[in-house]
Amino acid sequence: KVEIYIILIISFLFYSCNSNRGNKEENNQKNDTISSPNVIIVYMDDLGYGDVGAYGATSIETPNFDKLVEGGMRFTNAYATSATCTPSRFGILTGTYPWRNENAKILPGTAPLLIDTTQTTIPKMLKKEGYHTGIVGKWHLGLGNGNVNWNKDISPGPNEVGFDYSFIMAATQDRVPTVYIKNGKVVGLDPEDPIQVDYQKNFEGEPTGKDNPELLKMKWHHGHNNSIVNGIPRIGYMQGGEKAKWDDEKMADTFLEEAQQYIKRNKKRPFFLYYALQQPHVPRTPSPRFVGSSGMGPRGDVIVEADWCVGELLKTLEDEGLSENTLIIFSSDNGPVLNDGYYDQAVEKLGDHDPAGGLRGGKYSLFEAGTRVPFITYWKGKIKPGASDALVSQVDLYASLASLVNSPKDSKDSQNLLDVLLGKTEDGREKLILEANGKTALREGDWILIPPYEGPSVNTQVNIELGNASDYQLYNLKEDAGQQNNLVKKNPQRLEEMIASYEALRGN
């Protein structure tokens, strides 16, 4: 009997010893995954520097964007690479300045894929390091090779430039095709009702915004008078695909749900999620739950809605136990615009809200509000909350994330600013080229140089100053954030230095 007891005791000790080891291994694995933290880029569409509470907005509340700031770094000198969407998205994903690619301009829904399938991208780089990679939301970087058949496999696209999973809208909410595309296939497509898309001419018998105003729920102001979908006139013509068409008011919920499911499906391995929300780009179509929530009309309401989405995303990370192991980067693709082509009361109901946060210009502009955007990094327990004035560009995420996963990369344009992003130093970039509609400017230190450009000084349709002028413009942003004092005459020496610096960078 005693012998049996001894055997039992020994085997119990042996068992518990081993199971301890098992636990240790699990712990080690957990520690290991911290060297491969999950990365989520939350990318807004047309959200301005002043549209966020933590950036000074007082007439609109964004408690969840602000939550990121309370637990992370708020950057005051961070830039999108361009003042419009396609080039900025090209820049953030590839780590290459968009002005190097002459096709990197606002694309129609039928444009071919802009990113070369041999080009480096963030998802491709992370995939090599063992990450699962996903995109949910707005793509707007072209699809296919120039003649897409929307009823077959749509390729190449996000899945061919590094994303393992994709759930996207092809271009913008105001452009056809108005359907979701999941891993290269239109979601909910009825083969009996094939989709055709054309940006030149309408399909016979199809109503348009221009000819059938009686069918419209939302009125167009400029452009946006082609095919009508859900009572909203769009850019481009589309026929068929009736059952596959998205419900505009459910778009925010649809993308959020997809993002949450993606996180839940991949929580056991390192993942990269590019969550590209459609707000507050036009047409602004908040869910009925958010109508009237801002008192500012649809533009404010969709910002409140997007803020809620980010809050839900944070909750999902918390519920899944991923908060301490996930770096979130929050930003916007370009600056704000009020009337971007529809009558939706954005101008009338603005009140004293300043979407540009005191900066000059807006979307489409070479002035600061075109490209200087909210930019927040958040990593629970890893980033000491604070604010940083360091000069940072979205083009730097490629090299910085490569460094995060210990896979340093040489890149012409992208700088490794990981320590800046994690708030360990304010030693950011020295200089940076900004872009708007193919025109470029130089930011160096506190200074900005805008070369002379032909073209109107104001885009009167959207009522935004573009930055075009017949002479050089030189501003000191530290003393003159609103770019009111052109110092070209007062500081000829600085002007000369900046011109030399600009030309060297552009020629390189």
51 binds Ca ion (CB under 5 A): no
Distance CA 272, CA 162 (A): 11
Distance CA 280, CA 44 (A): 8
45 binds Ca ion (CB under 5 A): yes
The stretch among 159-167, 220-228, 352-360, 382-390 that binds ligand NG6 (CB under 6 A) is 220-228
Distance CA 448, CA 434 (A): 10
When binding is defined by CB under 5 A, the residue of 73, 85, 161, 195 that contacts Ca ion is 85
Distance CA 309, CA 286 (A): 12
435 binds Ca ion (CB under 5 A): no
The site partner of 106 among ligand NG6, Ca ion, none (C-beta below 5 to 8 Å per kind) is ligand NG6
Distance CA 203, CA 209 (A): 14
Could you tell me how far CA 374 lies from the centroid of its own chain?
11
What is residue 280's three-state secondary structure?
A: coil
Distance CA 421, CA 39 (A): 13
Distance CA 210, CA 258 (A): 35
Distance CA 312, CA 497 (A): 48
Tell me, residue by residue from 83 to 102, as one string, x for binding to ligand NG6 by CB under 6 A and - for no binding. -xx-----------------
The least distance separating ligand NG6 from the CB of residue 32, rounded to whole angstroms, comes to: 39
The least distance separating ligand NG6 from the CB of residue 454, rounded to whole angstroms, comes to: 20
Which CB atom, from 223 or from 445, has the smaller least distance to ligand NG6?
223
259 binds ligand NG6 (CB under 6 A): no
When binding is defined by CB under 6 A, the residue of 81, 172, 225, 316 that contacts ligand NG6 is 172
Tell me, residue by residue from 281 to 310, as one string, x for binding to ligand NG6 by CB under 6 A and - for no binding. xx----------------------------
372 binds ligand NG6 (CB under 6 A): no
Could you tell me how many residues of this chain bind Ca ion (CB under 5 A)? 5
376 binds ligand NG6 (CB under 6 A): no
Residue 322 has, within 13 A of its CA and on its CB side, a CA count of 26
Distance CA 255, CA 253 (A): 6
DSSP notation for 300-321: HHHHHHHHHHHHHHHHHHHHTT
Could you tell me how many residues of this chain bind ligand NG6 (CB under 6 A)? 17
Tell me, residue by residue from 333 to 362, as one string, x for binding to ligand NG6 by CB under 6 A and - for no binding. -x-----xx---------------------
In DSSP terms, 179 is beta-bridged to: 245
The least distance separating ligand NG6 from the CB of residue 388, rounded to whole angstroms, comes to: 26
DSSP notation for 121-167: -HHHHHHHTT-EEEEEEE--S--TTSS--TTS---SSGGGTT-SEEE
Segments of 242-357 assigned E as strands: 271-276, 326-332, 342-343
168 binds ligand NG6 (CB under 6 A): no
Tell me, residue by residue from 123 to 152, as one string, x for binding to ligand NG6 by CB under 6 A and - for no binding. -----------------x------------
106 binds ligand NG6 (CB under 6 A): yes
What is residue 193's three-state secondary structure?
A: coil
Q: Please check whether residue 73 is in contact with residue 54, taking contact to mean a CB–CB distance below 8 angstroms.
A: no
The site partner of 140 among Ca ion, ligand NG6, none (C-beta below 5 to 8 Å per kind) is ligand NG6
340 binds Ca ion (CB under 5 A): no
Which CB atom, from 43 or from 475, has the smaller least distance to Ca ion?
43
Q: Which residue is nearest to ligand NG6 (CB)?
A: 223
Distance CA 489, CA 473 (A): 10
Taking phi over 0 as left and psi of -120 to 50 as alpha, with beta for the rest, 463 belongs to left
Encoded tokens for 320: 């899944």
The stretch among 218-226, 295-303, 421-429, 481-489 that binds ligand NG6 (CB under 6 A) is 218-226
The stretch among 57-65, 216-224, 298-306, 317-325 that binds ligand NG6 (CB under 6 A) is 216-224
Dihedral (C-alpha) 397, 311, 254, 280: value to the nearest 10 degrees?
A: -70
Footprint of ligand NG6 on this chain (CB under 6 A)?
Answer: 45-46, 84-85, 106, 140, 172, 174, 222-224, 235, 281-282, 334, 340-341
Footprint of Ca ion on this chain (CB under 5 A)?
Answer: 45-46, 85, 333-334
